[in-house]
Amino acid sequence: MSQKRILFIGAHPDDADILCGGTAIKLSRAGHLVKFVSVTNGDTGHHILSRAETARVRAQEAQKAAKAFGLCEYQILEHDCGIEPSVENRREIVRLIREFAPDVLISHRLCDYHPDHRATAQLVQDCAYVCMVPHFCEDSPIPEKAPVFAFAYDHFVEPRVHRADAAIEVDSVIEEKITALSNHVSQMFEWLPWVDGDRDFDASKLSEQEKRDYVEGRCMGRQKKAADENRERLIAAYGKEKGSAVVYAETFEQSPYSRTVSVEEFQALLEP
Q: What is the pTM of this model?
A: 0.96
The pLDDT value given to residue 86:
97
Average the pLDDT over 141-156 and give the result. Answer: 96
3-state DSSP call for residue 156? coil
User: Domain spans of the chain?
Assistant: 5-270
Give the tens place of pLDDT for each residue, 124-143: 999 999 999 999 999 999 99
Instruction: Kindly report the CATH number that applies to the domain delimited by 5-270.
Output: 3.40.50.10320
Report the distance separating Cα 134 and Cα 32, nearest Å: 28
User: Among 152, 147, 142, 107, which Cα is nearest to 125's?
Assistant: 107
Phi, psi of 6 (to 5 degrees): -120, 130
Give the tens place of pLDDT for each residue, 50-59: 999 999 999 9
Give the tens place of pLDDT for each residue, 255-265: 999 999 999 99
Does residue 149 carry a pLDDT above 70? Answer: yes
Report the distance separating Cα 45 and Cα 260, nearest Å: 35
Report the distance separating Cα 181 and Cα 188, nearest Å: 8
Report the distance separating Cα 92 and Cα 43, nearest Å: 20
The pLDDT value given to residue 1:
55
Average the pLDDT over 103-121 and give the result. Answer: 97
Q: Which helix (H) or strand (E) holds 20?
A: helix 15-29
Average the pLDDT over 86-100 and give the result. Answer: 98
Report the distance separating Cα 82 and Cα 229, nearest Å: 32
What is the residue-averaged pLDDT of the chain?
A: 97
Q: Please, what is the end-to-end C-alpha distance for the chain in angstroms?
A: 10
For residue 141, say if its preceding peptide bond is cis, omega within 30 degrees of 0: no
3-state DSSP call for residue 148? strand
Give the tens place of pLDDT for each residue, 188-233: 999 999 999 999 999 999 999 999 999 999 999 999 999 999 999 9
